[in-house]
Chain A
C-alpha cells in the first residue's frame, strides 16, 4: 500500500521559516494537500492541489510538490501555527492516504 512519510516533529522560532516534508513514491505525479490540526479540533486544509491556499488561509502558508517529496512551508511563523500537520494524497485515485504527521512547535 502507498505510504507517506513525514518527520515526527520540527521546531521553529517565532518569525522564522519552517518547512515540513512529505515523502512518497512518485508523489510529484499526484496532487498533495496539507492539513493543520490543533489539539481537540478537527483538521483544516491549508494547502490543496500542491500549491493552492483556501480562502482564509494566511499567505505565510505555501506548498510545493516534485519528484518524491511534497513540502509545506510556513514563513514568518506565528505562535498560532503550533499544531500537527498532515500531508495527504490519493493512491490510484481510489484510496486516500495520510502522512504520518508532524508536530510543529513554536519556541
Chain B
C-alpha cells in the first residue's frame, strides 16, 4: 500500500523550531519529487516547498523562504522539513505529498503544528 506518514508536529513558542518528518512506503520514494503543503485551521491549502528526486532542485513559498529547510534521505525513504523562527501564522496542518505529472497524487494524513506562547 502506498503510504505517507508525517510526524514531528506539536506546540512550539514563537521564535522556536520544529522538525517534521514524512515516512514513505509502498512506492519508489527516490523516483518522485516531494512536497510540503499546509493548511491553517479553517483555511485553504498552501504549498510550502518542493524537493526534486536527487535534491538538486529545491523551492520554497515566499512566506517560509529563509526560515524553512526541506531535505530528504532516499536511502531511508524519508522527507524532512526543518522549521525555524516559527510564527503564529505558521500554525497549520502540514502534509507531505508526492508529485506526479504536475499534481500531488499521494498525501499523508498530516501533522499539526501550533505556534503559540
Residues of A near any B CB (own CB < 8 A): 1, 31, 33, 35, 37, 42-45, 48-49, 54, 86, 88-90, 94-101
| Known interface pairs A49-B103, A94-B50, A98-B44; 10 further A-B residue pairs with C-beta atoms within 8 A, sorted by A's residue number | A33-B104, A42-B95, A43-B104, A45-B104, A48-B103, A90-B102, A95-B59, A96-B47, A96-B50, A101-B44
- Dominant SS among interface residues on chain B: strand
Interface size on B, residues (CB 8 A): 21
Task: Give, as a whole number of angstroms, the nearest-CB distance from A88 to chain B.
Answer: 7
Task: Give, as a whole number of angstroms, the nearest-CB distance from B92 to chain A.
Answer: 13
Contacts of B61 in A (CB 8 A): 95-96
Task: Give, as a whole number of angstroms, the nearest-CB distance from B49 to chain A.
Answer: 9
**Cα–Cα distance between A97 and B62 once the two chains are bound (Å):** 12
Who on chain A is nearest to B61 by CB?
A95
